[in-house]
Structure 1
Amino acid sequence: MAPYASEDSESGARRRKAVRYAVPVAVVGVAAATIGLVPALASSGDPDLPDITARQLIEKIAKSDTEQLSGTVKISTDLGLPSLGGAAGGAAGGGLMGGGEHEGGGSSADPQSKLTELATGSHTLRVAADGPDRQKLSVLDDTSEYSVIHNGDDVWAYDSKSDEAYHAKQKQGAHSEDGTDGSDGSGDDAKKAPKGVPATPKELTDEILKAGGDTTSFSVDGTSQVAGRDAYRLQIKPKQSGSTVGAVTVSVDAKTGTPLKFSLTPAGGGAAVVDAGFTKVDFAKPAASTFDFKPSKGTKVTEADELKKAPRHEGSVKPKDLKADELKAGGLDDLNVIGKGWTSIAELKLPKEAGGLAAGKGSADMPPEASKFLSSLGDQVKGEFGSGTVYSTRLVNVLVTEDGKAYAGAVTKDALVKAANAG
């Protein structure tokens, strides 16, 4: 997945393109709920900036036309889960998409799997953008660097650790083979991020602003300095009880309206679940050479078309390979959303074996001892629905019942039990 650009429209006649820096943070899609705009004057703070209402600040963000910048971004994601590292990338890239470095024709530089590692832990990124056709994102490590470069019709990715490169040709307006708006790993739709994957910092804000309603309060929580620039702090809080989201804070550049930092803190307190922001930023036009890339002699280069033709690992399945009756058997047709806004809960029917595993009863593929260990990772709960196991992170909780249902959301355990009782 590369840095993406998309059109930012103010009205039918005024459409401008804004740069998106893609950083996979899956939990934000759950937290971005129905929002109501509540004007509030900015409180005193440092630096001393003119008072502004929350509505005016949101309008300032919407009118921002920043297309050229460069800088350093620090992103930290702490769900309370162990870091998956390359294993996460392998599962996402190899298991579903047929890619991954362990399969024939795969590449360790393939963005489809490599950037999945950003979903956990702390990472330092270097970003640059010059309009919708030139962006670069580099993930910095102690001894290596991974970069994705979009320059005109070409998308390059390079992993210095393995000395491997990935190359795809950009096709304007293309879509993935399964008809979705997301990339299929070929680079054919490199400008469009997969659905549900926000970027940082601006696209994270856009995800939240898409919704509207009376479940959320907006206020301006003073001012701050981010990357040496004066900024307003836009604070977003749920009005509903039962949500595990404490607050979302977006630091907005006072001059350009560009979001510089995004932070999501849990209701239970402690460090932010997601914290992403610039530590250095420059709004000058980056040098054209920033987006140049040519593989060195000896570098293994994998073309996107090669990955599409390569045989997939046994057992790997692309979404398009699944038939309608198989999807129904998996319960995807039975997805139901309970409630609204920040306390929305997804209800899904699972295979009956899943409920038994959660209760520690085992299955043909898993002995009771292993199943009991799995269930011990969660909390056993009972209610009118029967019994089940709640698996928790710092933001998202999931209840799996013995009768094979799952309830998931950025809500408390009690809210899940209540939803299961009602169901």
Structure 2
Amino acid sequence: MAQTRKASRYVVPFAVAGVAAATIGLVPALAASGDPDLPEITAQQLIEKIAASDTQTLSGTFKVSTDLGLPSVAGLADSFAGASGGATGSTPSTDPADMLTKLISGTHTLRVAADGPEKQKLTLLDGSEEYSLIHNGDDVWAYDSKANEVLHEKGASAGPAGEKPDQELPGTPKELADEVLKAAGDTTSITVGGTATVAGRDAYQLVIKPKQSGSTVESVKIAVDAKTGTPLKFTLASVQGGKPVLDAGFTKVDFAKPAASTFAFEAPEGAKVTEGTGEHGKAPQDVEKGLEKEFGGLDGLFGGVPGTGDGQGVNVIGEGWTTIASYDTGAEAPKTDEAPKEFQGFLDSLGDEVSGRFGSGTVFQTKIVNALMTDDGKVYVGAVTKQALVDAANAAK
């Protein structure tokens, strides 16, 4: 237990990377250039067009490019598991949460198909290798061609008493757009920023920006199909400038109904098949689900020893784009020179020492999600600037 507690002190900066990745999800996007001449439309009308969209079927290819401003995190999860005595080796390589960590950085090509809420397929292409997630009725299949392994979950589309799971496979641009629009209020500016051509289709550009200062988000842009109202593109830009945090988009899209055979799956000959227990069957869409599985969720990450929930709970500071969550880990802040060697370079690259009325601590930074951990073990985390975290910690004294 002592070794686990010591290792947990180094989870915070790793969690920052994970939570940042959780903002990405599996979102089709990336646009071709173009400026089609379309009828004028107001932001309210465009939002209503999105809300009225009832796209049930589609197939296509899209690319996802992410730049969180992070150093290489390849193998970091396995390194942490080793340092904390975890049993990552017992997790099938086909676990969707593990696959999704690949989207934290770089550019990836995916294929997607959907036929209503009961049939979806997503394939991540990596050279000649493929990772596929297939949801067909009550069955969810995950297949890793490199390892030739299959994970099968039965009854994954419904929970107790027929309830649907919180996350369904795969995520769509509309789902992410709906979440962004629901969060919009007095703290948000929403305008129409011209037009674009996405995968050969005419689209309007919906531009969403924080009105508040202190957010790390510069803007969110959603390209909306002019004909169907289906969101086709999602771009997330940071106030740091440079490459977008997320620039992903359809390079090809077809709204015709995919063939039923698209969602059929049989394990290849010789493949290792693991029958799931429900732990992986809800096909998580984001890395936060992976954190939930590995570390007991964000409350476990910031609540002392992962999974024990022995912290002091979560306080929410502020509102809108500058919301900050604060935690008390009940443990001293990590010291880089005491960290496991696998984490020393990672901590150095993310960490920035700060001080104020609260005392002193370290801000762990990405281009979107930042976290301040004080020397006495308190954590302040949000999509806000370093100064906003310091101000929140000072105000709490």
TM-score, normalised via structure 2 length:
0.78
In the other structure, the counterpart of 2:130 is: 145
Q: Tell whether 2:109 aligns with 1:124.
A: yes
Amino acid at match of 2:121: K
Q: Any unmatched runs of 5+ in structure 2?
A: 1-19, 26-33, 281-292
- Equivalent positions of 1:278-289 (< 5 A) are 278-289=250-261
Change (3 A) 1:87 1:289: farther
Amino acid at match of 2:383: A
Q: Are 1:107 and 2:92 counterparts? A: yes
Q: Deviations over 1:249-268 (max 9, x none)?
A: 00000000000000000012
Could you say what secondary structure the match of 1:379 adopts? strand
Alpha-carbon distance in structure 1 between the residues aligned to 2:197 and 2:78: 35
Residues 97 and 287 from structure 1, CA distance in 2 versus in 1: closer, same or farther, beyond 3 angstroms? farther
Give runs of aligned pairs for residues 218-257 of structure 1, distance below 5 A. Answer: 218-257=190-229
Residue of structure 2 aligned with 1:26, choices 4, 19, 22 = 22
Write the distance in 1 (CA, Å) between the matches of 2:66 and 2:240: 16
Q: Does 1:381 pair with 2:370?
A: no
> Structure 1 residues 171, 26: CA separation in 2 closer, same or farther (over 3 Å shift)?
closer
- Tell me which of 288, 307, 315 is aligned to 1:336: 315
Counterpart of 1:347, as a letter, is: S
Mapping 1:232-311, distance limit 5 Å: 232-305=204-277
Higher relative contact order (CA 8 A, sep 6+): 2
**Residue 389 (structure 2) pairs with residue 416 (structure 1):** yes
CA displacement 1:346-392 (0-9 Å, x = unmatched):
111122322xx34x685xxx599x98994675222121111111111
Q: Report the residue type matching 2:23 in the other structure.
A: V
Task: After TM superposition, give the deviation of residue 297 of structure 1 in Å.
Answer: 2.0
Question: Any stretches of 5+ residues in structure 1 without a counterpart?
Answer: 1-23, 30-44, 177-187, 309-315
Counterpart pick for 1:173 among 141, 155, 158: 158
Q: Distance in 2 between matches of 1:213 and 1:280?
A: 33
Letter in 1 for 2:55: T
Paired position in structure 2 for 1:346: 325
The 2-side partners of 1:267 and 1:128 are apart by: 34
Aligned to 2:13: none
- Work out the CA distance in 1 between the residues paired with 2:304 and 2:237: 41
How far did residue 327 of structure 1 move?
8.5
Match of 1:399 in 2: 372
2:63 is matched with which residue?
Answer: 74
Could you tell me how far 1:56 is from its partner in structure 2?
Answer: 0.6
Counterpart of 1:193 in structure 2 is: 167
Q: Which residue of 2 aligns with 1:58?
A: 47
DSSP-derived class of the 2:332 partner: helix
SS of corresponding position for 1:210: helix
Residues of 2 paired with 1:189 and 1:96: CA distance? 35
Alpha-carbon distance, 1:340 to partner: 0.7
Structure 2 vs 1, CA of residues 254 and 395 (structure 1 numbering), >3 Å: closer, same or farther? same
Alignment-mate amino acid for residue 110 of structure 2: L
Q: How many angstroms apart in 2 are the aligned matches of 1:277 and 1:91?
A: 33
Q: Deviations over 1:216-254 (max 9, x none)?
A: 100000000000000000000000011111000000000
Distance 1:198 1:348 in 2: 32
Change in 2 beyond 3 A, CA 1:334/1:132? closer
How far apart are residue 403 of structure 1 and its match?
Answer: 1.9
Pick closer, same or farther for the CA change 1:374–1:67 going to 2, 3 Å: closer
CA distance in 2, matches of 1:249, 1:293: 36
Q: Deviation per CA, 1:276-318, whole angstroms, max 9, x where unpaired?
A: 221100001111111111112211111113989xxxxxxx977
Report sequence identity in percent. 58
Pairs aligned (count): 350
Q: Could you tell me the TM-score, scaled by structure 1's length?
A: 0.73
Name which of structure 1's ranges 390-399 and 264-273 shifts more when overlaid on structure 2.
390-399
Taking a change above 3 Å as real, the CA distance of residues 26 and 140 of structure 1, as seen in their structure-2 partners, is same
Q: Is the 8 A contact 2:56 2:116 kept in 1?
A: yes
How much is the aligned-residue C-alpha RMSD, in angstroms? 3.6
Report if the CA contact (8 A) 1:88-1:117 is conserved: no
- The 1:96–1:277 alpha-carbon spacing in structure 2 relative to 1, beyond 3 Å, is farther
Q: Which amino acid aligns with 1:139?
A: L
Partner SS state of residue 232, structure 2: strand
